[in-house]
Amino acid sequence: MKPEISFEFFPPQTAEGAEKLRATRRQLAQLKPAFFSCTFGAGGSTRDRTLETVLEIQGEGHPAAPHLSCIGSTRGNVRAVLDRYKAAGIRRIVALRGDLPSGMADPGEFRYANELVEFIRAETGDWFHIEVAAYPEYHPQAKSPREDLENFKRKVDAGANSAITQYFFNADAYTHFVDSARALGATLPIVPGIMPIASYSKLARFSDACGAEIPRWIRRKLESFGDDTASIRSFGLDVVTELCDRLLAGGAPGLHFYTLNQAGLTSTIWQRLGLS
C-alpha cells in the first residue's frame, strides 16, 4: 500500500510571506500529497489567517486540513469555524487542545482534545476525517507515559480517524508508542511527523519547547558545524532520510512533513526516498 504523504504549513503573517508560501505550495503540490495542513496559533490567535490559507489551498484544488485548537474557545466559536469549513467543502481537520496564549487566564469551554473531537463528531457526524496528535516521546505535560497513552486513547474513543505524531529522531520511540497504543486497543493509523533539519539553533529551540529529543550524537554533530549551513543541511538530509526509510520499511502508514513553509529539504527527502 502506498504511504500517505502530507505537508504542514503555518499561516503567513505578511503579504510577502503569503507569496512565498504560494511558491512553496506550487513546488510541493507536484509531489501529489494526500493533503496540506495549516496550523492554528495559541488560543486561536491565527484563526482568521488559518481560515484564509486553508480556503486558498482548497481553492487551488488541493485537499486542505486546518488545525483547530480548542483551549480558550467556546462551543459557539468552534461551531462557527466548523460551519465555515464545512461550507467550503473541507473534509479533514486536525483537532488539538492547543496552548493558552501568555497572559490569557480563561481556558474556555474545552479542557482537552478528546472533548473537541467529541464535539466535532456530535456537531458534524462523519463529515470530517479527524486527525489528532500523538507523542512518541510523551507529551511534556503528561505525568507519566501511561497517562499520556490513556489521554491518546480517549481521543481515539471520542472519534478520531488517524493520528499525526510530534516529530522525533528516534525510530524506536515511534515503534514503541505504536505498539503501546495497539495494546490499549487503538487501531487507527499513526503517521510519523517528520522535521527536516535546516538550522540547528531553530531545531534546538523547537525541541526544547515541545519535548522532542535530539539524540546526543545528532546534537553534538550539528553543534560541531557551527554556522556552516551547508554542512548542517547535508547532515540533516542524511539523518532524516534514513529515519524516514526506516519508518516506512517498518510499516509506518505515511509521513507528515513539518515544512516550516519551505519546499527544498522536504522535496529532496521525498526524491531520496523514491516516493515519486
Element (H, E) at 177: helix 171-183
The model carries a pTM of 0.94
Cross-strand partners of 69: 96
Task: Say if residues 171 and 255 touch (Cβ distance below 8 Å).
Answer: no
- Output helix, strand, coil percentages for the chain, rounded to the nearest 5: 50, 15, 35
CATH of the domain at 72: 3.20.20.220
- Give the per-residue pLDDT at 90: 95
Between the alpha carbon of residue 254 and those of residues 27, 108, 130, 139, the distances in Å are: 20, 34, 16, 22
Q: DSSP per residue over 57-105, as a string? A: HHHTT--EEEEEE-TTB-HHHHHHHHHHHHHTT--EEEEE---PPTT--
- Give the per-residue pLDDT at 40: 82
Give CA–CA dist 18/10, Å, rounded.
10
Domain count, the chain: 1
Give CA–CA dist 214/196, Å, rounded.
13
- Give the per-residue pLDDT at 57: 94
- Give the per-residue pLDDT at 107: 67
- Give the per-residue pLDDT at 276: 73
Render each residue's pLDDT in the chain as its tens digit; 276 residues.
Answer: 789 999 999 999 899 999 999 999 999 999 999 999 999 865 555 567 888 899 999 999 999 999 998 888 889 989 999 999 999 999 999 999 887 665 555 667 888 899 999 999 999 999 999 999 999 999 888 899 999 999 999 999 999 999 999 999 999 999 999 999 999 999 999 999 999 999 999 999 999 988 899 999 999 999 999 999 999 999 999 999 999 999 999 999 999 999 999 999 999 999 999 987
Task: Say if residues 93 and 66 touch (Cβ distance below 8 Å).
Answer: yes
* Residues with catalytic function: 8
The residue range of the domain holding 186 is 4-273
171-187 residue pLDDT tens: 999 999 999 999 999 99
Kind of pairing between the strands at 190-194 and 254-258:
parallel
Give CA–CA dist 19/40, Å, rounded.
19
